[in-house]
A and B are shown apart, each in its own frame.
Chain A
Amino acid sequence: MGLVALSLAIITLDYRQGQSGPLAAMGRGAQAFMAPLQEAVTSATRPVGDFFSGLAHLPSLERENQDLQDQVTTLQTEVSTNAQLQAQLQQLRDMLGLKSSLSPEAVPAVVIGNGLSNFHYTVTIDKGSDDGVRVCQPVVTGSASSPRLVGQVISVTPISAEVRLLIDRDFSVAGELATSSQTGLVVGQGDQDLQMQGIPTGTTFPEGDTPEYVFTVSYEIAGEHGRYPPGLLIGQVSSVHEASNALETEVSVKPAVDFSALEFVLVLKTNASEGCA
């Protein structure tokens, strides 16, 4: 019974003190202790895990192959047009004297573990405050030219950090539809696709198979900048429901990142403010 009372005391204490209390510090200690072990186990078991997830995807591979080949043909034609546009863009940029890369410095990291819970979606990465990783910094994956949003750092130890994923139910980010430039709040929904809220009815979406993408958006309110650099790909619109009695359109967004196979990420060293987690 003493233990029950102790548990209740711990819940109360931690609930009241949040990130600054002794229990939060204990948690960070435990995470730092576990990080090297997680790293070892993950590097040993990743090939096995890849094998099993490969098996699970086997039936869809043939269809995927066909789809991809079709895509290659389409893309090849697009590439030639793009090269032309790229040259044009470069010319215009040079003319305007813009800096081509405004993106902040980034720390590459490896995913060494996943969260323990069935109710939250987090991963552990192998870089921490020793490498300049801070709470609130955005985490992306993909190449520098086409970064895709993964999530946000929520706690750091000297050698590891916890990242809350885009699909976590506590995660939200301002997003912008590529064609209509309408902005809305993108909220994680766990295993389901993300929900984008606040899109007015009557917003136009591309017809047919043309995908509509959602990117992070930059904004500034009273001198405070948004937490995420603009232009990070969040995902692709998967369904649009026109709700006749509501003032807005419900938009589902499929994340651009495959979270089941996440391995390498980049932490963007923005000057994130404290108190966002």
Chain B
Amino acid sequence: MTRRIVSVTAIVITAVLLQSTVFSELRLLGVRPELLFLVTIVLALLEGPNEGAIVGFGAGLAQDMFLDQPKGITALTLTLLGYGVGMARQYIVSPSPLLPTIVVAIGTALGVAFYEIVSFLLGSFDLSAAEAVRIALLTAAYNAVLTPILYPLLRRIVEGSRPRRVVRF
């Protein structure tokens, strides 16, 4: 269990670090990816709603610490996103290898939209609706492009640190 917490924490810190350095220079039409959204969705997809919600909360809180915003908005968004994707998992039967990419794209778009709405309600969002939609869709597209690269890596780390089930006879 400890090993699990350590590896997920390491993933989250790496994601924050990459997003604030490398990916701020590799922008797609002015938009950077939301790596913590991606991490939350992938982990929820692999591990289910409970772990999805917990990872989402942690990752969101980590990101909130670096934003000039009321803290907790990203935590709320990602908790719900992790839970939602984890729950949606049981209705998905497709074995398509494209599945993670599609789920990440839809999840990111919905998550960013939710985040925009909450920060709008708190009065800390001053973009036009068109710009808000544009950013949500571009972020989703960017995250989708990164998924085929990051999904196998995340899956390997997560499955490697999964607690071993003790089988008694």
Residues of A with Cβ closer than 8 Å to B?
Answer: 3-4, 6-15, 23-24, 26-27, 29-31, 34, 37-38, 41-42, 45, 48-49, 52-53, 112-120, 122, 124, 154-155, 162, 164, 169-170, 190-191, 260
Contacts and interface: CB of A to CB of B under 8 A. Distances in A.
A27 B70 CA distance: 11
A154 B135 CA distance: 25
A111 to B, nearest CB: 10
Query: Chain B interface: which size bin?
Result: 35 or more
A128 to B, nearest CB: 15
Given A27-B66, A53-B25, A154-B68, A7 B57 contact: yes
Nearest to A53: B25
B21 A42 contact: yes
The 6 closest A-B pairs by CB, nearest first: A10-B72, A114-B24, A7-B76, A30-B65, A11-B72, A49-B25
Interface of B: 13, 16-22, 24-26, 30-32, 34, 53-54, 56-57, 60-73, 75-76, 79-80, 112, 116, 118-119, 122, 125-127, 131, 135, 139
B26 to A, nearest CB: 6
A4 B71 contact: no
A119 B119 contact: yes
A38 B20 contact: yes
Contacts of A3: 53-54, 56-57, 75, 79
Given A3-B54, A11-B76, A38 B32 contact: no
Select the residue from B21, B30, B32, B56 with max chain A CB neighbours within 10 A.
B21
A4 B65 contact: no
A41 B22 contact: yes
B68 A169 contact: no
